[in-house]
Structure 1
Amino acid sequence: MSSVFIVDDSRTMRKMLAGALKEAGIEVIGNAGNGIEALEQLKTIKPDLITLDITMPEMDGLDALRFIKKDNPDQKVLMVSAAGQKEKVLEALKLGALDFIQKPFEPEEVIKTIQKALA
């Protein structure tokens, strides 16, 4: 079973995404509310994929992505962005993110994107 780690400052978004993943048979092995929490947890867990929100307090997704890729260049990461963040999405893709999910999203589309990234 594939494992996903969810990083988003919105508790509601984390719950919604975790529920959709669980229904699709994908294990959620943890979640964090910002980049600092994520990096701390990633010292002890090794997810197959990380979903990483771009806009978060304390440490945003782009800075977290830089640290994640520095420590583990092969880590699969999908960015989560709000509409109007095209420049940041492009920067994330240049930094090594596989793809992105745009909020608000339909659970079916998110599952397809995540399954594609895990393949």
Structure 2
Amino acid sequence: MPKVLVVDDAAFMRLALKTILERNGFQIVGEAENGAVALKMYQEYKPDLVTMDITMPVLDGIQSLKAIRQYDPKAKVIIVSAMGQEGMIKEAIASGAKSFIIKPFKEGHVIETLTKIATA
């Protein structure tokens, strides 16, 4: 069962992802409301996967992605972002994100994407 760290500044979005993932056999090891907390939690829990919002306070998703990948170059980070942020998604992929999911998301797409990345 892959361990996942869910990172989003919106509590309802963290809850939605957590619910979908747990229902489909993923283990949530932590939830972070910004990139700075995400980096600390990544170092502490060493999750298999990270779902990462882009627009967050303190440390945004791109900065957090880069910090996590510097700490662990093999980190598997999936960007979860709203429509209209295509430029930032491209930057995230260039910075090492393994994939991306556009909000609002469908459960099947979330599970398919995370399963594919977890087994890659």
Residue of structure 2 in register with 1:51 after alignment? 51
C-alpha separation between the residues in 1 aligned to 2:40 and 2:66? Answer: 14
AA aligned to 2:54 is I
In structure 2, C-alpha distance between the alignment counterparts of 1:43 and 1:87, rounded to whole Å = 28
What is the identity, as a one-letter code, of the residue corresponding to 1:44?
Answer: E
Which amino acid counterpart does residue 118 of structure 1 have in structure 2? A
How far apart are the structure 1 equivalents of 2:2 and 2:40? 21
Q: SS of the counterpart of 1:102?
A: strand
Structure 2 residues without counterparts, runs of 5 or longer: none
SS in structure 2 of the partner of residue 42 of structure 1: helix
Aligned equivalents of 1:18 and 1:5: distance in 2? 9
Matched positions, count? 119
**Partner in structure 2 of residue 80 of structure 1:** 80
Residue in 2 aligned with 1:5?
5
- Name the CA distance, whole Å, in 1 between partners of 2:65 and 2:44: 17
Could you tell me the percent identity over the aligned residues? Answer: 43
Matched letter for residue 97 of structure 2: A
Q: Partner letter of residue 84 of structure 2?
A: G
After TM superposition, give the deviation of residue 43 of structure 1 in Å: 2.4
SS of equivalent residue, structure 1 residue 25: coil
TM-score, scaled to structure 2: 0.96
Q: Quick one: distance in 1 between partners of 2:57 and 2:51?
A: 16
TM-score, normalised via structure 1 length:
0.97
Structure 1 outlier segments of 4+, above 4 Å:
none
Given residue 73 of structure 2, which amino acid in structure 1 is its aligned partner?
A: P
For 1:58, what is the secondary structure of its paired residue? coil
Measure, in 1, the Cα distance between the counterparts of 2:53 and 2:26: 19
